[in-house]
């Protein structure tokens, strides 16, 4: 079997599903209400990729005896050809037939593929479906332009379906939307969200409900990885497997698909006693101490770390706002300002390389600068009011320079799209250098952070995510 592990060893029942039980119950409850005649037409399952949305729908439908008819965009259809209808027309035909006919016999050339994998593996749905079916939609038109004819036709088709009367057998639609939230300078155009796809009119329709799937918790994902290891070992005869430390690191992403694919890649290496530290446990093992990591596992963790070498936004912000400094290397002379500017002298250097920090942010530059601006204020406190004021003004000047060099986030058709992509990258990096160097030059060292008025001592060290970046999605939905 040449299929990837994600497909070969997918969950076959709900207990194996790496999804929180409450989410499974919510989806099942919605489907039961839809088939019982309640006014429910479309269920939107949104969230990050790899959180088990599609698998959950198939397993729940199988348990309820519901047939799943899945829409796939046609391949090789020429929209300008008169011989074949357009993708928009085929999708409209797919949806309209669902409301009119008891059966869903569509042209397989371009329209739909009805999966027979998990939903009817043992033929146990024969005679159990009672005509119940749902439509599963995972492939959507391009949403780069809100005025796209294909996108407008897609929304119009769904609006007509929602406003139409249900037949004797309701046929609900389940839409799987794997959202991509990019907080970049062109975030509003690059991100893919349910609101961007459906628009405010459909999202606010009372007949359309939304359930959001969160990233899978590490404890749940580790159990799923262990289950995959056991299934594969029964088939291949494998006896050694990557140890708990490797599985924990893989589970940190919260993405089941990515974690299983990474595990498969690691297991391509032959597993002997010197390669992997753990034995495959076909029964529930007793609790015992974790075995020490082998050299192969240390190398694997290093590869995983290099693939995801990001500090995290708060860690990267802390590097700057705590302004830790060390003595320069022996023999290195620091350039100093003229004698008439003694307040600008710095006898120590930062304990990190600023040029390396930009490669380890874990987020885009504009969001990072906004996070610095949100958190630097509490680090400016000094023994004298004059020194505190100097720190505040020095940091503010750095942020002002960075703002002048930055690309406006929502400047559609103006600065954000002027010049080449290389120019934009250089402009972003100059903005980063101005903000970071201006902040570390303006802050005192060592830093003694203070709480904001009305806060406790613990609040002095609490990091805040930038408000502007946190609310951009709500801003887009409101506009």
Quick: pLDDT tens for 262-296: 888 888 776 556 677 677 777 766 666 667 777 77
SS3 of residue 63 by DSSP: helix
> Which strand (E) or helix (H) includes residue 212?
strand 208-213
Token pair belonging to 211 = 């359930």
Sequence ranges of the domains in the chain: 19-213, 218-307, 313-478
List per-residue pLDDT tens for the chain, 479 residues long: 688 989 988 999 999 899 999 999 999 999 999 988 888 899 999 988 889 999 999 999 999 999 998 888 777 655 545 556 677 888 888 888 765 544 443 444 333 333 333 334 443 433 344 578 899 999 887 655 666 788 888 899 999 998 887 666 788 999 999 987 655 444 445 578 888 888 889 999 999 999 999 999 999 999 999 899 888 888 888 888 878 888 888 888 888 998 898 888 888 776 556 677 677 777 766 666 667 777 777 777 776 655 554 557 788 888 899 988 888 888 777 777 788 877 777 778 888 888 888 877 767 788 889 889 999 988 888 878 888 898 899 999 999 999 888 875 444 444 444 455 666 778 888 999 999 999 999 888 888 888 888 777 788 888 888 887 677 667 666 66
Residue 264: other Cβ atoms inside 10 A: 16
- The b-or-e profile of 74-92 (16+ CB within 10 A means b, else e) is beebeeeeeebbbbbebbb
| 19-213 topology per CATH | Rossmann fold (3.40.50)
**Spatial distance between the Cα atoms of 340 and 16, rounded to a whole number of angstroms:** 71
Q: Where do the DSSP E strands lie in 304-451?
A: 325-326, 349-350
Token pair belonging to 302 = 């290093």
Q: What does the DSSP 8-state code read for residue 137?
A: E
**Spatial distance between the Cα atoms of 45 and 15, rounded to a whole number of angstroms:** 20
What distance lies between CA 207 and its chain's CA centroid?
27
**Spatial distance between the Cα atoms of 225 and 221, rounded to a whole number of angstroms:** 6
Q: What does the DSSP 8-state code read for residue 180?
A: B
Distances (CA, A) of 393 to 311, 380, 387, 461, 468: 28, 10, 10, 22, 22
Contact 378, 460 (CB under 8 A): yes
Q: What does the DSSP 8-state code read for residue 192?
A: B
pLDDT, tens only, 394-437:
999 999 999 888 875 444 444 444 455 666 778 888 999 999 99
**Spatial distance between the Cα atoms of 476 and 423, rounded to a whole number of angstroms:** 27
Residue appearing with tokens 């893919």: 192
pLDDT, tens only, 162-196:
888 766 678 899 999 998 765 544 444 557 888 88
SS3 of residue 44 by DSSP: strand
Distances (CA, A) of 470 to 153, 181, 206: 31, 11, 26
Residue 438: other Cβ atoms inside 10 A: 21
Torsional class of 121: left (φ above 0), alpha (ψ -120 to 50), beta (otherwise): alpha
**Spatial distance between the Cα atoms of 94 and 27, rounded to a whole number of angstroms:** 23
């Amino acid at each position: 079997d040449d299929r990837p592990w994600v497909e070969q060893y997918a969950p076959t029942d709900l207990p194996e599903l790496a999804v929180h039980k409450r989410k499974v119950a919510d989806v099942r409850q919605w489907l039961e209400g839809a088939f019982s005649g309640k006014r429910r037409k479309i269920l939107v399952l949104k969230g990050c990729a790899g959180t088990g949305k599609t698998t959950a729908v198939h397993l729940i439908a199988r348990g309820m005896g519901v047939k799943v008819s899945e829409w796939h965009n046609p391949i090789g259809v020429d929209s300008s050809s008169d011989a074949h209808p357009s993708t928009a027309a085929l999708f409209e035909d797919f949806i309209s037939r669902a409301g009119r006919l008891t059966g869903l016999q569509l042209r397989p050339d371009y329209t739909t593929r009805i999966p027979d994998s998990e939903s009817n593996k043992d033929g146990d749905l024969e005679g159990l479906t009672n005509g119940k079916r749902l439509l599963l939609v995972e492939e959507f038109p391009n949403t780069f332009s809100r005025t796209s004819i294909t996108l407008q036709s897609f929304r119009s088709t769904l609006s007509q379906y929602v406003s139409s009367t249900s037949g004797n057998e309701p046929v609900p639609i389940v839409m799987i939307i794997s959202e991509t939230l990019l907080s970049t300078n062109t975030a509003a155009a690059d991100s893919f969200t349910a609101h961007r796809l459906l628009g405010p009119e459909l999202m606010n329709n009372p007949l359309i409900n939304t359930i959001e799937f969160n990233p899978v918790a590490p404890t749940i994902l580790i159990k799923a990885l262990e289950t995959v290891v056991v299934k594969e070992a029964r088939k291949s005869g494998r006896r050694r497997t990557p140890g708990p430390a490797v599985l924990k690191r893989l589970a940190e992403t919260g993405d089941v698909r990515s974690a299983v694919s990474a595990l498969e890649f690691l297991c391509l290496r032959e597993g002997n006693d010197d390669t992997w530290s753990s034995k495959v446990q076909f029964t529930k093992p007793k609790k015992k101490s974790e075995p020490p990591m082998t050299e192969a596992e240390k190398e694997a963790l290093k590869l995983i770390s290099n693939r995801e070498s990001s500090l995290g936004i708060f860690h990267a912000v802390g590097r700057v706002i705590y302004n830790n400094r060390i003595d320069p290397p022996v023999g290195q002379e620091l350039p100093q300002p003229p004698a008439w500017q003694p307040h600008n002298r710095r006898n120590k250097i930062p304990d990190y390389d600023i040029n390396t920090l930009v490669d380890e942010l874990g987020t885009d530059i504009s969001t990072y600068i906004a996070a610095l601006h949100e958190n630097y204020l509490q680090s400016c406190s000094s023994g004298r009011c004059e020194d505190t004021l100097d720190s505040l003004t020095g940091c503010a000047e750095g942020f002002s320079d960075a703002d002048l060099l930055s690309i406006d986030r929502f400047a559609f058709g103006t600065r954000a799209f002027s010049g080449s992509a290389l120019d934009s990258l250089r402009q972003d990096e100059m903005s980063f250098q101005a903000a970071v160097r201006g902040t570390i030059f303006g802050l005192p060292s060592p830093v003694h952070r203070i709480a904001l008025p009305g806060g406790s001592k613990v609040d002095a060290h609490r990091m805040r995510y930038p408000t502007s970046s946190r609310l951009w999605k709500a801003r887009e939905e409101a506009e």
